[in-house]
Chains A and B, each alone.
Chain A
Amino acid sequence: MNKTEFLKTLEAGLAAASPEERVAALQYYGEYLDEAGPELEQEVLAQLGSPEKLAAEILAMSGTAPDTTAAAGAGAQTPPAATAGPEAPAQAPAPAAPAGHNFPPLPPLPALRNQVYPPPPGAGGPTYPPPPHGAGGPPPPGAGGQAAAPPVYDTQRNTAAKIVLIVLLVLLLSPIWGALLGVAVALLAVVIVLFLIPIIVAVALVAAGLVSAIAGIIVIPAATGAGLVGLGLGLLCVGLGLLCGWGGVLLLGRVLPGMVGGFFRGIGSLVRKIFK
């Protein structure tokens, strides 16, 4: 195809356009090819594509509804202006871009729909798919017993053990653990101090009683009455102190080991429960 043939075909394709439109287009492309020069003519003609298609684009742009013969001849009508409709026999596979910008050709509508709403892969519906066994969320440590479903016993026990291990690790590594230990130790210290109080009191009483009694004995020659009272009170104090001390030691010896033991037993049983 040369320049003359190109322009002739273009003119024929623009038969439906207004004379003004036709002349303008023919002048433009005639001039365009002149500017390119004879050396570039073939290259530019190749770039411009088919004159029928070009005519269709110009018609679409100028708002002139092309008659069906023109559309069929052009082979490619833009979808929005398509008077020919989707059932047009001559619909070309690659439609011309409307008004000539280079959007990639749109896929046919059903394909586009498929792209926008892909069918949900695998999962049938909006409901949760049943969790693959064992992969469910970690149950609380005590829930290891749910592993007792007979058919899949081994795998479930395996996963239960894994879950317990994870929970244990979390517990051991969690900062709350440290805080709890601190609180427990502090409580134990307070209890010990509380139980020490009777012993301290006892020691103080015995000491005061001894001082009072000795002072009474010393004072007896000078002031017999007061000395005797002092001696009596002192001995009383010593007695009370010894009693108090005995009670305290008894308390410390009997109750405290029980409490401390209970404390550790409690931890032990907790650990055993976790490991069970």
Chain B
Amino acid sequence: MTFTTGAALLEALVLSAVNHSDTYGYKITQDVRSVVDVSESTLYPVLRRLQKEGYLAAYDQEFAGRNRRYYTITLQGQEHLKLCREAWETYSSKIESLLLGGISDE
């Protein structure tokens, strides 16, 4: 079985991938798809939204005789990623406490 990946989590995953190092669309898609089950076409809208929100910036660089658009995380994006990670900590620990341990919050 698979758990669905919501928009917020996808955005956080893409931000995280770009935060690791500047990277391009195809690579981001492969990285995210290695972790969660999303279709190839899912990530372009996510990337676009992150750009519009000012979390990601793009620049072009030549590679093997053609252009490659690289994405880089902005300061704003780093702050947002921090919030995302905190939210994830809370969320995942709650899920785990119930899913893996029963309700053990005494």
Contacts and interface: CB of A to CB of B under 8 A. Distances in A.
Interface stretch (B40-48, B80-88, B96-104): B40-48
Contacts of B49: 61, 99
Interface residues of B, number: 27
Contact of A47 (B37, B40, B44, B48): B40
Contact of B45 (A47, A99, A103): A99
B40 A61 contact: no
B5 interface: yes
Contact of B69 (A31, A49, A57): A31
**Chain A binding site: helix, strand, loop or mixed by DSSP?**
helix
Nearest to B68: A31
Interface residues on chain A, size class: 20 to 34
Given A101-B7, A103-B4, A34 B66 contact: yes
Contacts of A24: 48
A27 B38 CA distance: 21
Contacts of A54: 41
Contacts of B41: 47-49, 54, 57, 100
A27 B26 CA distance: 12
Contacts of B40: 32, 44, 47-48
Contacts of A103: 4, 6
**Chain B binding site: helix, strand, loop or mixed by DSSP?**
helix
Contacts of B67: 27, 31
B45 A58 contact: yes
Contacts of B66: 31, 34
Nearest to A53: B41
B44 A58 contact: yes
Nearest to A25: B44
A49 B6 CA distance: 20
Given A28-B69, A62-B48, A102 B38 contact: yes
A5 interface: no
A32 B4 contact: no
Interface in B20-36: 24-27, 29
A265 B46 CA distance: 90
A35 interface: yes
B39 interface: yes
Contacts of A36: 26
A195 interface: no
Nearest to A63: B52
B10 interface: yes
Contact of B38 (A34, A57, A101): A101
Contacts of B6: 101, 103
A258 B80 CA distance: 94
18 contacts: A25-B48, A27-B67, A32-B26, A32-B29, A35-B27, A35-B68, A54-B41, A57-B41, A61-B48, A97-B42, A100-B42, A100-B43, A101-B5, A101-B10, A101-B38, A102-B5, A102-B39, A102-B42
Interface of B: 4-7, 10, 24-27, 29, 37-49, 66-69
Interface of A: 24-25, 27-29, 31-32, 34-36, 44, 47-49, 54, 57-58, 61-62, 97, 99-104
